[in-house]
Structure 1
Amino acid sequence: MNETENQNKYSCGIAPECFPCVVNHALSAARFAGLNEEQAKGIVEVAEAGLKESENSAILVQHVVRRVADAIIKAKGAPSSFDIYAEIKQTSNLLSLDYVESLQKKMENSISPLETGLQIAAAGNIIDFGAKDHASLNLEKELRSLENVPFTRYDLAAFKTSLKTASTLLYLCDNSGEIVFDMLFIKQLQREYPDLEIVAALRDKPIINDATLADAKTVGLDRLVTTISSGSIYPGTILAETTDEFQDIYAAADVILSKGQGNFETLLPLADKRIFFLLRIKCDYMAALSQVERDSLVLMQAPDKAAAEL
């Protein structure tokens, strides 16, 4: 099944507002990977071609980002499994682990440990080299400011109501480093909902700094809950392009917690009320879709079909 056929369920094409960000990401990624200027120009052309194609097809930003990554890997003469961001992902994981003790104490001393865990998990979504220029993200500074970002959409009551009767929770992970903060929240979920079965899904193949099963093993997430590959090779979850195993787990889940902008973009059109999106809104287009201010945190239950087609 090709990309266009797979997107029949989704909103068409790529929003014009996303074009500059996609091109900037391509150039930034090419330079981060150590390509020369001529090679970087070729990578930008790959992105621009994908954007042009999207004007008459239903391919998504995630497809273009994958094409860009594959083009960079090819330009470097590396194997297809090569992880462009391996070193910085490892740094993100290890640096985030340094914050576990202090954040755990913060949760324990909180009036509502669950809500504090939610804020920690959401604020951890800052660690995203897809949404920022690689040179502009000061990871240490961002991590120190975790508790200073407010929620401006907070569907907590609906989330708790869903959890009360849930037997299974599918937790869709996003970035490396960020999964450390997800672990803190998951531990609190396990304390408050001891009978809840939690499955964490990660990317199948390295893409930007998204977390894979290897990252889950590095931080110990695999020792906390069942971890699986979603089968996604994209910075998001395009359901039709995931594994049969993942689709079965998705279909059976009572509640789905979706982390990050890539998952938000790809799953929002499904209008599945089981989904709760937990993320930091990082651009004006996503702010318009979620109807909140840019750079704020949201816990948002998936809207109905009409809202999803904004």
Structure 2
Amino acid sequence: MNSNRRIPAACYPCIFEQLHSLARVAGLDEGGGKMLFEHSMRQLLATHGEGLVVQHIIRSATDRAIALSGKGVDSDPYGAIKKQSNDIARQFAGEFRNKIRCSSEPLRDAVKIAAAGNIIDFGARPHGSLDIEMELSSIDERSFGRFDFAEFSMRLKLAGKLLYICDNAGEIVFDRLFIEEIRRSNPGLEVTCAVRALPIINDAVLADAHDAGLFDVAEVVSSGSVYPGTLLSETSDEFRGLFDNADVIISKGQGNFETLLDVADERLFFILRIKCDQMATLSGVAKGELVLMQGS
């Protein structure tokens, strides 16, 4: 265990909401749901949340839920939901692509669309509580509480290699639009997208990236991460090589923000929507606002 890691008390209610959502999505009956909760509660009680991050609890719970469901180790509890998220996002993609192309500042608008798309997050909001179509139709109403755009655009112009660490299915449809604009304005740029190695919540894996057409605009690899985040020490050698050699690194979403914030690397740019009080405290940005934040 890493002694510097700990789960704040403020994160416990969100963990329990996530367990409730996971039990429902995995199709567990009341008995299975209780066993899932007991599994994670034992883990928290045994460690007092020390030496762990939330992502460890959610990975362990997902493995337990899959086992309890009897559907096999390769099952993806959120698979159908992720496909639906991609399908809904595609309904808006044409409109947003035109908005970017007709903009006087296309890269700025592409950043905003990519950031606003981060609302499609069942790690921060339980499945069933999120109206994706309503959220996407109100993207223009979202504002940035932190917008390090000048530094981002300058570094992008000078970059030869971009590593784009993806977050959720559905959201990756808008990541594709963002990458299209990045490549249009930087034709020689090498772009690699990284997705999760195994299904976890609604985070994108290779199959979701195929479905969203991400392979059409970038090389796509597995990061080796089995968590809803990126713990560098627990990623693949290939991914760490890409991370080390990138000129610019885009980190999408809350899970990646939580797990990479301490890296303190100026090549890193976090793009997300602040969804909880804990993230508001860490970022210094009000809950509900968007963020383009350079690591430091």
Q: Which residue of 1 aligns with 2:6?
A: 13
Alpha-carbon distance in 2 for matches of 1:63, 1:44: 15
Q: Would you say 1:124 and 2:128 are equivalent positions?
A: no
Give secondary structure in 2 for the equivalent of 1:99. Answer: helix
Counterpart pick for 1:61 among 54, 58, 68: 54
Equivalent residue in structure 1 for 2:288, among 295, 300, 303:
295
Instruction: Report Cα offsets for 1:176-200 as digits up to 9, x if no partner.
Output: 0100000001000001111111100
1:153 maps to which residue? 146
Specify the alignment match of 1:219 in structure 2.
212
Decide which of 36, 51, 61 is 2:29's aligned counterpart: 36
Q: Which residue of structure 1 aligns with residue 133 of structure 2? A: 140
Instruction: For residue 52 of structure 2, give the secondary structure of its aligned residue in structure 1.
Output: coil
Cα distance in structure 1, aligned partners of 2:46 and 2:193: 34
1:49 shift after superposition: 2.3
Pairing 1:242–2:241 present: no
Answer whether contact 1:13 1:54 (CA < 8 A) is retained: no
Determine the structure 2 residue equivalent to 1:204.
197
1:164 matched residue in structure 2: 157
**2:48 and 2:36 mapped to 1: Cα distance?**
19
Letter in 1 for 2:85: S
CA distance in 1, matches of 2:49, 2:58: 18
- 1:23/1:48 contact within 8 Å kept: no
Whole-Å Cα distance in 1 between the matches of residues 210 and 15 of structure 2? 30
Which residues of structure 2 form unaligned runs of 5+?
A: none
Distance (whole Å) between structure 2 residues aligned to residue 37 and residue 147 of structure 1: 41
Q: Match for 2:158: what amino acid?
A: T
Under a length normalisation based on structure 2, what TM-score does the superposition of the two structures give?
A: 0.97
Cα distance, 1:56 vs structure 2: 6.2
Which deviates the most, 198-207 or 145-154?
145-154
Equivalents in 1 of 2:253, 2:28: separation in Å? 28
**3-state secondary structure, aligned to 1:134:** coil
Shift of 1:31: 1.6
CA-atom RMSD in angstroms: 1.2
Question: Secondary structure at 1:98's aligned position in 2?
Answer: helix
CA distance in 1, matches of 2:49, 2:41: 14
Superposed CA deviations along residues 26-64 of structure 1, whole A, max 9, x for unmatched, are: 012102222111211111122222323443631110010
8 Å CA contact 1:54–1:60 kept in 2: the answer is: no
Classify the secondary structure of the residue corresponding to 2:128.
helix
Change (3 A) 1:275 1:53: farther
* 8 Å contact from structure 2 (residues 7, 49) kept in 1: no
Q: Supply the AA of the counterpart residue of 1:146.
A: I
1:22 aligned onto 2:15 = yes
Partners in 1 of 2:22 and 2:186 — Cα distance? Answer: 41
Instruction: State the TM-score, normalizing by the size of structure 1.
Output: 0.93
The equivalences for 1:178-197 within 5 A come to: 178-197=171-190
* Percent of aligned pairs with the same amino acid: 48
Rounded to whole Å, the distance in 2 between the matches of 1:38 and 1:268 is 38
The amino acid that maps onto 1:32 is V
Deviation at 1:214, TM superposition (A): 0.6
Instruction: Give the letter for the 2:195 counterpart.
Output: L
Q: Please say if residues 63 and 234 of structure 1, whose CA atoms lie closer than 8 Å, have aligned partners that are also in contact.
A: yes
Gaps of 5+ in 1: 304-310
Residue 306 of structure 1 is matched in structure 2 by: none
- Name the stretch that deviates more: 64-73 or 31-40: 31-40
SS of aligned partner of 2:73: coil
Matched pairs, number? 296
Match of 1:265 among 250, 258, 263: 258
Which amino acid counterpart does residue 171 of structure 1 have in structure 2? Y
